[in-house]
Structure 1
Amino acid sequence: MMVQLRLCVPADLSQAVLECCLAQTGTAETAHHRGASVVPPGDLITVQIARESAEELIGRLHVLRVPELGSISISSPDLVLSARADEAEASAPGESADSVIWDEVSRQTGEDSKLTWSYLAFLLIATQLAAIGIVTDSTIAIVGAMVVGPEFGPLAALAVGLVERKWRLIRASALALGVGFPLAMVVTAAAAWLSIPLGLFPLDALERGSAVEFIYHPGPYSLIVAALAGAAGMLSMISHRSSALVGVFISVTTVPAAGYVAVALVLGEYNKAAGSAMQLALNLVGIVSAAVAVLLFYRLIGKRVSPSRRRPTVGGRSLVSRRAR
């Protein structure tokens, strides 16, 4: 798989960036448009490169301060017909499906971790659906709540923040989870409390819900399933397989557990509420722990270039030091 880098760079930096791109293994095509960038003023450089080599090149561009002085845009063409591209992919180490562009992962999870109105709306709707499925003993409604729930975004962002030591990302994701789940449970509890005098469900609804017993019975498999789901979810984000991510949503009971806590508290089933809260905690910890493990594994095998330890060179000469001169 090829990716395209669009680089806006100052004119005095363009030669160093161009040589850095040309020297990178896996580069198929490079185009240099002098004076094409108006804001910021400078040159435009486009690069077609194998995905396996993109992370190393981006790391070197960070050393050259391209993101600070200009910009880096990354896109993935749907189809590239080029013998040079085929040769570049063959020369690049590793496989494109296993390659990770860390800036892309951080940016994607960062967007998903924000406490927004849409995130709260989805979480409130999902928790309400879960509560309806619980009191009506409807597995279909509970599965629907799992699909609608947006909680994996902040959980993935929390894992990325822990691995990358990005404290702002950790705070943002913790805020989204810490505000979202309690708010969703409070609103769901209020709706359940109002539904009782309206006769929408009986007071013994939880006694008859055999299909939802798994929600408030945490056990060893609860943590195992959460860990497997967290690993699969992070792998799906890295490999851009959205269908696998939907399967992750269906496999874990974070939102149903939150809905069960709210309903059980309203009905005075405190033991079941405690069990469901434990289920929720186990799922959250399991998902984040497994996602962290996946990211650490990919960092270990991905031959990631650390900008603080490695400088881009061409022919044994440091481009950074040459520009400084």
Structure 2
Amino acid sequence: MRYLEITVPADRRRAILDVLDEEGIEYVVTEEVTASAVDDAAVVRLPLPTRAVEPVLDRLADAGLEAGRVVVIDAQTVVSSEFDDLLERYSRGGTRGPRTSRQVLRTKADEFTPSLSVYLVMLLISAVVATAGLLADSPAVVVGSMVIAPLLGPALAASVGIVTGDDDLRSTGFRYQTLGVAIVILASIGLATLARLGGLEPGGVDIVVVAELEERVSPNLLSIAVALGAGVAGILSLTRGFSEAIVGVMIAAALIPPAAAVGITAAWGMYGAAVGALVLVVVNVLSINLAALVTLWVAGYRPQGLFDVSPTRKRTATYGVVFGVALLVLAAPLAGITLLEFQATQLKSSADEAVADALEEPEHADLEEESVEVVLDDDYPVRSIDRVVVAVRGPDPGPDPELSDRIYERIVESEGPVVVEVRYLVGEQRGQRDTSGDWIGKLIVHTAGDGR
């Protein structure tokens, strides 16, 4: 419920009160001396159901309230039979869930956008924590970086400003989003560079083998779902009163770790991987804004000339088209990565079957399958299948070319040309293992096919 205080100019008082009478709204009018530019003003006070605020203010705007002032206050309870009737009328068939008015929506979006200095400091802290978490491969630390990132307001302010015709709010939202991503990337580059100079680079190991990094430098289409869900949930948190803190973490999850991954991979000189992470950041920004804009439109927050009539309907459609087209263009490489992952999964399944069939032959009864792995190349962000690595173990002191060729032929028969590398883990005698349960012996590699 809301409690409104409306300052009404004398020449508009009768028109305003007529609207309230027609709506069946209880109100109190008091004559007050004000310090505003409105002479001979009266203050009208009235309770309204949350759902009624927007349509009532729209009607009052049509009646000439442009020169007035409206203050909307949260109300705990109203005891009145007339108010109960009004509440029932605006409950839409018994549904009493609150719907924030466009007027309040603009205020909430602005409130969730912190001052620039606080915003920058919090993002710097978040960037440092996210970079440390990614380098340490610590999911808990990465989650911590999301919690402290103040991204809810800026991520939603732009869309709210578009549909309500608030140019200042729209520009602030876009400016904060751009500045925020840039700050996180630059801060992560600096910290990752210091970490590399300090000797934290794994010797001879690609930095993106870190699990928390790998999934962000070669993203697939499923990554978009997180950002789309964050945009929808963010708007619902503003319009329906859901927990803003939880939704803020979800939005940060789509932006902070990928942005930090851009900085880390750039500091390590892996520019292809940095491009992949940057594409994910841009796609997530577009997805959040598009989802928020569409959700606002579907929820009924459409441009209707609120106090200041402006051609925002065309602007809303324009931004929606721009976001959608840009998202489709950038989603193309993500679709390629998704297809590659599907092909790699299918290839591994076929390789598992081929190895199992080959080892069933009587002459290979003393061999056991250790593992089957599909290895991708390092050409980030759009990678390709490099080879299939099959590991078998047994007591013989050398490779078995016949087995290697049989495995290769069966894989190629179902999946086409591919390099197959068969590794033999050879122990001193059958079944000999160390105290950890691992096979004792040496590794012999035999390449069974060249892919041509």
- The TM-score with structure 1 as length reference comes to 0.82
CA contact (8 A) 1:114 1:173 kept: no
Task: Identify the residue that residue 85 of structure 1 maps to in structure 2.
Answer: 83
Task: Identify the residue that residue 33 of structure 1 maps to in structure 2.
Answer: 30
Which structure 1 residue ranges, 4+ long, deviate > 6 Å from structure 2?
Answer: 302-307
Task: Identify the residue that residue 321 of structure 1 maps to in structure 2.
Answer: none
Return the offset for 1:165: 4.5
Task: Identify the residue that residue 235 of structure 2 maps to in structure 1.
Answer: 234
Instruction: State the alpha-carbon separation in 2 of the partners of residues 304 and 3 from structure 1.
Output: 22
CA contact (8 A) 1:137 1:209 kept: yes
Amino acid of the residue matched to residue 213 of structure 1?
E
- Greater Rg by CA: 2
Highest RCO, 1 vs 2 (Cα 8 Å, sep ≥ 6): 1
Return the offset for 1:279: 1.2
Return the offset for 1:152: 2.8
Aligned partner of residue 18 in structure 1, secondary structure: helix
Aligned partner of residue 77 in structure 2, secondary structure: coil
Residues 12, 104 of structure 1: CA spacing in aligned structure 2 closer, same or farther, 3 A cutoff? Answer: same
- Deviations, residues 36-92 of structure 1 (Å, cap 9, x unaligned): 5454552111110112221111112323443x5331001121233433332220122
Aligned 1:94-105 pairs, distance under 5 A: 94=92, 95-97=95-97, 99-105=99-105
Residues 247, 108 of structure 1: CA spacing in aligned structure 2 closer, same or farther, 3 A cutoff? Answer: closer
Amino acid of the residue matched to residue 179 of structure 1?
L
- Deviations, residues 198-234 of structure 1 (Å, cap 9, x unaligned): 45x3355834522443222311111122112211111
Aligned partner of residue 97 in structure 1, secondary structure: coil
Residues 274, 6 of structure 1: CA spacing in aligned structure 2 closer, same or farther, 3 A cutoff? Answer: same
Aligned 1:179-194 pairs, distance under 5 A: 179-194=179-194
Aligned partner of residue 300 in structure 2, secondary structure: helix
Return the offset for 1:172: 2.0
Aligned partner of residue 97 in structure 2, secondary structure: helix
Amino acid of the residue matched to residue 10 of structure 1?
P
CA contact (8 A) 1:131 1:188 kept: yes
Residues 293, 268 of structure 1: CA spacing in aligned structure 2 closer, same or farther, 3 A cutoff? Answer: same
CA contact (8 A) 1:56 1:305 kept: no
Task: Identify the residue that residue 163 of structure 1 maps to in structure 2.
Answer: 163
Moved more, 6-15 or 51-60: 6-15
Amino acid of the residue matched to residue 69 of structure 1?
A
- Deviations, residues 3-23 of structure 1 (Å, cap 9, x unaligned): 111112223333322222232
Task: Identify the residue that residue 68 of structure 2 maps to in structure 1.
Answer: 70
Aligned partner of residue 299 in structure 1, secondary structure: coil
Residues 98, 289 of structure 1: CA spacing in aligned structure 2 closer, same or farther, 3 A cutoff? Answer: farther
Verify: 1:146 aligned to 2:146, yes or no: yes
Task: Identify the residue that residue 50 of structure 1 maps to in structure 2.
Answer: 49
Instruction: State the alpha-carbon separation in 2 of the partners of residues 88 and 271 from structure 1.
Output: 60
Amino acid of the residue matched to residue 282 of structure 2?
A
CA contact (8 A) 1:155 1:287 kept: yes
Task: Identify the residue that residue 261 of structure 2 maps to in structure 1.
Answer: 260
- Deviations, residues 127-165 of structure 1 (Å, cap 9, x unaligned): 221111101111111111112222232221121233334
Amino acid of the residue matched to residue 299 of structure 2?
Y
The percent of aligned pairs where both chains have the same amino acid is 22
Instruction: State the alpha-carbon separation in 2 of the partners of residues 306 and 167 from structure 1.
Output: 13
Instruction: State the alpha-carbon separation in 2 of the partners of residues 79 and 217 from structure 1.
Output: 53
Instruction: State the alpha-carbon separation in 2 of the partners of residues 10 and 162 from structure 1.
Output: 30
CA contact (8 A) 2:110 2:157 kept: yes
CA contact (8 A) 1:156 1:288 kept: yes
Amino acid of the residue matched to residue 24 of structure 1?
E
Task: Identify the residue that residue 291 of structure 2 maps to in structure 1.
Answer: 290
Amino acid of the residue matched to residue 126 of structure 1?
S
Verify: 1:10 aligned to 2:9, yes or no: yes
Instruction: State the alpha-carbon separation in 2 of the partners of residues 258 and 305 from structure 1.
Output: 38
More helix by share: 1
Amino acid of the residue matched to residue 226 of structure 1?
A
Amino acid of the residue matched to residue 76 of structure 2?
D
Amino acid of the residue matched to residue 97 of structure 1?
G
Amino acid of the residue matched to residue 128 of structure 1?
V
Verify: 1:280 aligned to 2:284, yes or no: no
Amino acid of the residue matched to residue 72 of structure 2?
I
Residues 115, 274 of structure 1: CA spacing in aligned structure 2 closer, same or farther, 3 A cutoff? Answer: farther
CA contact (8 A) 2:50 2:98 kept: no
Unmatched runs of 5 consecutive residues or more in structure 2 = 311-452
CA contact (8 A) 1:30 1:45 kept: yes
